Chain A
């Protein structure tokens, strides 16, 4: 299906990442936004609210983040593509309803414009420390999809991708932005509506009495109906059967939660997306995501000038993690390096998937700024020697001036 031209602001624009996110949502067909302002994500809400009357969308500022995500879940069941945005503290408050959205298989997009934490932390500066919260933040067992853009253009593109994935798999999709990308202004090209591919919602079209809201199709994903269309159905966060009624038995739990996990795991090859450059024949591969992947490219340029054989694997989809590819790479290279703006989160997955076959190097950063490319370069140089295979996650610290 092609995008509805009403929401597509075709042309070349000079936008920051937050505004690009709002435009991406509108282009993807998002017509409901429920949110609560928080730096550095507020501009997404502002832009969406401003554009609402022109596009025919609805914006509600809710009383807090819990209510925001609750409103988005409700709006999605009413048939509208829906989203919210937030940052660290608000992301924490939304965790309960992330679980509800997973359990009720509600398609929605939640953008987290990451800032420095924990707690109130660094409201106006950047971080990447919510990555594991994105993966595991809500209680219970589940699989989720998270994307990580590194520019305003990608924020536009990936917001559309996020909506498409959430509709395809009936799962909340997290757009893990960060303050640097959110507040960075660059050229964003918005294509014509007919060039934007949209995943339409899969609606059930059978007779009213026969609808089973949680009876999956072959791909493990059930079709939906709209609230108010005359179908009677029940939705609950309790373990439920295909009718949506609570069935708190071991068998039902196994059937339901197994499917919630498997619909992502077994379709992982379709969901996972990454970019590689110079990986064949490399001694070192840097695995990076978000703004850090961009800063890494500068370090790689410098390292290649020194003759180091270094490639990059840039994660577009961070969760699910490209386990298979990392296993392959670990057998081919001396070292895998991960710079991230935290003290080691996604690197835990990297280390797990490396299976002791390659040295795993973390280049941490506490947040508040992006990496100094020289710190990444230093780690690449050390890693190229590949002497610490099997030691777990290692770090190299360059002596700072002064």
Chain B
């Protein structure tokens, strides 16, 4: 079972990201995925989070208890949920939106300039999809094929190409980061730990 929390502000596509992961896993990877959302009364700008529980069998308890993966796309989301992460958990943050503080927790931290990628591609609204590309590459909890099959059904047709570009950009960046991790691991395991593990 894998528990995931996607968090940020309303309007960043946080819940849409949860739906994309959940659909990819449950429809195309044929496992179980339960997605729950929480948001404030505001249409945009309020704190917002999607909880996704992935499992090989039916999900009985529908909420996240101790997340294995936290994706934070705002400082507030980071501050609120960072302490929830379990030991060895993965924390993914938007490089330009979240400034992590140093804690002693044993987690794997990844940063990705998802919003910057989206802006470079012409629209910051697709930052969540760039994030999803990165997420797919570094976490391995959902297959690339499933994500590619899912995205067209959940983004407006006119913006599909732009979304797929954002996804690919995030995914490629994720692969680079993993490759760098691997290279550093063979070079100096100590240095790698300093870089990615706090």
Contact = CB atoms under 8 A, between A and B. Distances in A.
Interface residues of A, number: 19
B62 A180 contact: yes
B27 A187 contact: yes
Contacts of B22: 14, 185-186
Interface string B29-42: 00011111110010
A296 to B, nearest CB: 8
Interface residues of B, number: 19
B26 interface: yes
Interface in B52-84: 59-63
B19 interface: yes
Interface string A174-216: 0000001001111100000000000000000000000000000
A282 B149 CA distance: 46
Given A14-B19, A180-B36, A187 B26 contact: yes
A185 B60 contact: no
A180 B63 CA distance: 9
A186 B26 contact: yes
A185 B36 contact: yes
A313 B37 CA distance: 29
B169 interface: no
Contacts of A370: 61-63
Contacts of A13: 27
A246 interface: no
Given A185-B34, A187-B26, A295-B61, 8 more contacts: A183-B36, A184-B34, A184-B62, A185-B36, A294-B62, A301-B60, A369-B63, A370-B61
Give the 8 A-B residue pairs with the shortest CB-CB distance, closest first: A14-B23, A185-B35, A187-B26, A298-B60, A297-B60, A298-B61, A12-B27, A186-B34
Contacts of A184: 34-36, 62
Contacts of A124: 38, 41
22 contacts: A12-B27, A14-B19, A14-B27, A124-B38, A124-B41, A180-B36, A183-B36, A184-B35, A185-B22, A185-B34, A186-B26, A186-B34, A187-B27, A187-B33, A291-B62, A294-B60, A294-B62, A295-B60, A295-B62, A298-B61, A370-B63, A373-B61
Interface string A118-134: 00000010000000000
Contacts of B27: 12-14, 187
Nearest to A152: B34
